[in-house]
Structure 1
Amino acid sequence: MQQLLNTALTGLTLGMVYAAFALALVLIWRSTRIVNFAQAPMAMATTFVALVVIDAGYGYWLGFAAALLSGLVLGAVLERLVIRPAEGGPEINAVILTLGLFIVLHGVAAVVFGNRYRSFPAPFGLRGFEVGGTTIALNGFGVFTIVSVLVVMGALVALFRFTDVGLRMRAAALDQEVARLLGVRVGHMLTLGWALAALVGSLAGLLIAGGSLVHPSYMDSVVVFGFVAAVLGGLDSPLGSVIGGLVLGVSLSFVSGYVGSQLVPLAALAILMLVLTLRPGGLFAHAPERRV
């Protein structure tokens, strides 16, 4: 029974990590209609910014804030300098550019920060809580991760449903010409979408790095699982991305705990194929929106 509980709790925390990254993908998709494959190295770069600040003696929370701020700036700059020139062309051009950014950012990070593994601190304890004399697989940092993801999800839902800015961002992503005729400053909305997505991605990078080792490729595997989580829930749904992350995290935790860790990638592929076969738009996406 204890193993079952610990496996489920491990999957819960892992699922929230995947959900954090999936939320960044959902945000960039809803605001620009681009799947950003460079989201992981962007988050990695900002995590190293936080590590530089922390190693300089300024504390975890100042490094945390520096990472989020640098993510906001990095997203805006990349949209303006790299993605904006491809605006108006085939949509695949922007996707190819994000793949190029994936490679470039890895190379730049390796040159600037080095390739060695470095320890990244956590703001809360990594020892599991004790319940009835038994240590369970949930710790302070895990609770912080869960709360952070839920707060971000709520903020994104509120942004797109209840604010004029969210409505303008969606309009700019769906039909730029019509949006311009309605007075929407499309360029500003696209830049804002990239900036906010990079900020959420930076949070995901910090949550993944907490209490573990980081290097320029530490986020690479998260690209796959985060993308699967986003597709499971539907790329248009923040709530769906969180539920997709939870489904994926718990499922893979049970596969790893009871079958074998070597089958985790295969299990993720099987889950993705099953959902795409039964509901191609994802669990929470609306078909008319997914065809845009």
Structure 2
Amino acid sequence: MGTFIQLVIDGLSTGSVYAALALAIVLVHSATGLINFAQGGMAVLAAYFAWYLTNQGVPLIVAILLSIVFSFALGAVVERWLMRRFERGDPDTAVVVTIGLLTLITGIAGWLWTYNNQQFPSLFPLDTVSFLGVSVSIRSIGTTVVIVVAMVLLQALFVGTKLGLALRAVAINPQSAAFSGLPVGRLLMVGWGLAAVLGAVAGALVAPQLTLTPGMLDNALVYALAAVILGGLTSPVGVVVAAWIIGILENLAAVYVPFIGHDLKIAVPFILLFVVLIVRPQGLFGRKTVVRV
């Protein structure tokens, strides 16, 4: 039983990493209707920015806050000067552009700071606490708490604020939103900026665990996309729960299913995804889209 509980707790911690990126993807989709594959690259760039500041003697908290400001500006600029040229065209073209942007950002990070592993200071202590024979690191607890807070704030943004409702209106029908007097361009910039902020938070949480490299979030991005599809593109709560489910099932399958083991555990979320898409295509917590013709 102790091993089982330990695996579940470790799965929650790992799933929180996936959830951080998944929330950013949901935010961009809710604000623009697009899937942003460059989200991981933008998060890595923010983490490098914070790491560079800490090396210049800036306190870690201040460096992370400055990286959040930098990320908001970066997201807004990317939307204004790049993505806006494609947002009203074929959605597939815009998706390909975000993939190209991911490659570009990763290359820039590697060019500026090399591809060597860098040590990013942890925001939380590295100590562990024991409870009922299970050891849990304070860093894992802190990461999970931050993701829960981000989930609650994002859900509150889209459900209970005028800004969130305006962002959703722009994503659903930008022409009607413009006719209603909403500043569509500014809202799109804000949506991308807020998503980049979530990415910066994700980068600061993940970098101490994985070591900082230009491609550190590539695998996490794949899991995050699986969590987004599994949980539902319209539900911040759903993607976080889905990311936790993926993290837990992945750990349990690696230990308790002999033919899977640690080598094939990456297949677990995709098997789960395949089953859910057959039974409930909109995701576990997503809403069906009704189109009138």
The TM-score normalised by the length of structure 2 is 0.95
Task: Please tell me the residue identity of whatever aligns with 1:125.
Answer: P
- Which residue pairs with 1:87 in the alignment? 87
Taking a change above 3 Å as real, the CA distance of residues 171 and 265 of structure 1, as seen in their structure-2 partners, is same
- Which residue pairs with 1:248 in the alignment? 246
Query: 88-97 vs 255-264, which deviates more?
Result: 255-264
User: What's the CA shift string for 1:26-46, capped at 9, x where partnerless?
Assistant: 101111000000000110000
- Which residue pairs with 1:51 in the alignment? 51
Q: Show structure 1 runs of 4+ deviating over 6 A.
A: none
Query: 35-44 vs 280-289, which deviates more?
Result: 280-289
- Which residue pairs with 1:214 in the alignment? 212
Task: Please tell me the residue identity of whatever aligns with 2:36.
Answer: N
d(CA) in 1 for partners of 2:67, 2:115: 19
Once the 2 structures are TM-superposed, how far is the Cα of residue 130 of structure 1 from its aligned partner? Answer: 2.3
RMSD: 1.5
SS in 1 for 2:56: helix
- Which residue pairs with 2:195 in the alignment? 197
SS in 2 for 1:221: helix
* 2:288 is equivalent to residue 287 of structure 1: yes
Contact 1:16–1:145 (CA under 8 A) maintained in structure 2: yes
d(CA) in 2 for partners of 1:55, 1:221: 27
- Which residue pairs with 1:162 in the alignment? 160
d(CA) in 2 for partners of 1:78, 1:26: 17
Task: Please tell me the residue identity of whatever aligns with 1:69.
Answer: V
User: What's the CA shift string for 1:110-169, capped at 9, x where partnerless?
Assistant: 11111101111212222321236x4x3421111111111111111111111111111111
User: What's the CA shift string for 1:170-196, capped at 9, x where partnerless?
Assistant: 111111111111001111111111000
Counting helix residues as a fraction of each chain, which structure ranks higher? 1
Contact 2:41–2:105 (CA under 8 A) maintained in structure 1: yes
SS in 1 for 2:264: helix
d(CA) in 2 for partners of 1:283, 1:138: 29
- Which residue pairs with 2:229 in the alignment? 231
Once the 2 structures are TM-superposed, how far is the Cα of residue 269 of structure 1 from its aligned partner? Answer: 1.4
Contact 1:235–1:285 (CA under 8 A) maintained in structure 2: yes
Q: Which runs of 5+ in 1 are unaligned?
A: none
d(CA) in 2 for partners of 1:72, 1:20: 16
Q: Percentage identity across aligned positions?
A: 34
d(CA) in 1 for partners of 2:109, 2:221: 17
- Which residue pairs with 2:106 in the alignment? 106
Contact 2:79–2:189 (CA under 8 A) maintained in structure 1: yes
